Amino acid sequence: MSRLFLLCIFTSIFCLLETQSQYSVGDGLLTTRTTVLLGHSCPDNMKCFLLFGLWLGCLATSGWAALSVNSTPPYIKPCRKSDPELNNCIKESFDHLRPYLIKGIPEIKLQSIEPLKIPKMAMDNGHGAVRVRAQFSNITVYGATNYTILDVKGNVTTYKIELSLGIPRIETTGSYDVNGNVLLFPVRSRGDFWAMFTNITGSGKIYGKEVIKNGVRFMKTEKLLVDFKLTKSKFKVRDHLNGHNVIGEAMNQFLNQNANEIIEEMKPAATAAIGKHFKNFLNGAFLQVPIPVWLKD
């Protein structure tokens, strides 16, 4: 625990004791009480506000949620910069992480990704035969943790990691809202969707940089580029906007008959949206785990 955080604790305790003392000798004329921290009542709103601000500031600057640089949690299989088989070690680390991704890692605020929950995702494709703006919500993805790491290339100087992986099958459900044109026909639809993808091969390029927080080194993901290929896909949508099943059935038929072409048209928008989501996902994890925990000198 850092000295700064200890100072915050002692200062806050002192303020609470002083506040309670003032309350006990008050003249009974106070009419406003603010409850804050540990259930204590504060007769002085300004003091309570400052006390609450002090706690927030301490939590924000002390690195309270981050792991200690000397810890080796069970979900981390550390590698060494000097390891001649560094790429293989990184590959093994990703494989080692899989069961923990299934359960989630509360220690670093990482939720389970089996299934993977994505609240919102937007795709905007303004060129080609499929020009649509799509909003997806309440997305649930099944099968993402069944990955196999195929290849890894890591540069410990520039913090660039390239990897490729394979996933046999992914199913996803959620809600959609689509507006645009497919070929020459206007499309406006809103409803629920189901999709299945098989034999997925994905690749990712992580561009990281070292950042210092309270004297501790972390890796921040500056950019994430993703790409994917798949051999088969199947879609089913249930349109709620147009009030009858004819539109939905026609859309299902069109999607499944032209799945490969539609996916290729939408790939730039899809990879951008996926990259944005997982960049935030990676930063949520990497900025909680100091570099010396997973990459030893």
pLDDT computed for residue 258 by the predictor:
84
pLDDT-wise least confident of 36-40, 170-174, 250-254, 255-259: 36-40
Quickly name the fold that domain 79-296 has.
Answer: Bactericidal permeability-increasing protein; domain 1 (3.15.10)
Helices 3-24 + 45-61 axis angle, to 10: 170
**For residue 162, what are the β-bridge partners?**
153, 205
What b-and-e string marks burial along 144-183, b requiring 16 or more CB atoms within 10 Å of the CB?
A: bbebebeebebebeebbbbbebebeebebebbbbbebebe
Residue 124 has pLDDT above 70, yes or no: yes
Condensed to tens digits (0 to 9), the pLDDT of residues 17-70 reads 444 444 434 443 333 333 333 344 444 544 444 444 444 444 444 444 567 888
| Cβ–Cβ < 8 Å for 55, 8 | yes
pLDDT computed for residue 260 by the predictor:
87
Region(s) of the chain under CATH 3.15.10.30 = 79-296
pLDDT computed for residue 115 by the predictor:
92
pTM listed for this prediction:
0.71
pLDDT computed for residue 247 by the predictor:
62
The pLDDT of 190-213, averaged and rounded, is: 95
What amino acid occupies position 192? D
The pLDDT of 184-205, averaged and rounded, is: 91
The pLDDT of 83-109, averaged and rounded, is: 92
Give the integer Cα–Cα distance in Å for 274 and 280.
10
Residue 244 has pLDDT above 90, yes or no: no
Tokens of 152: 């890894």
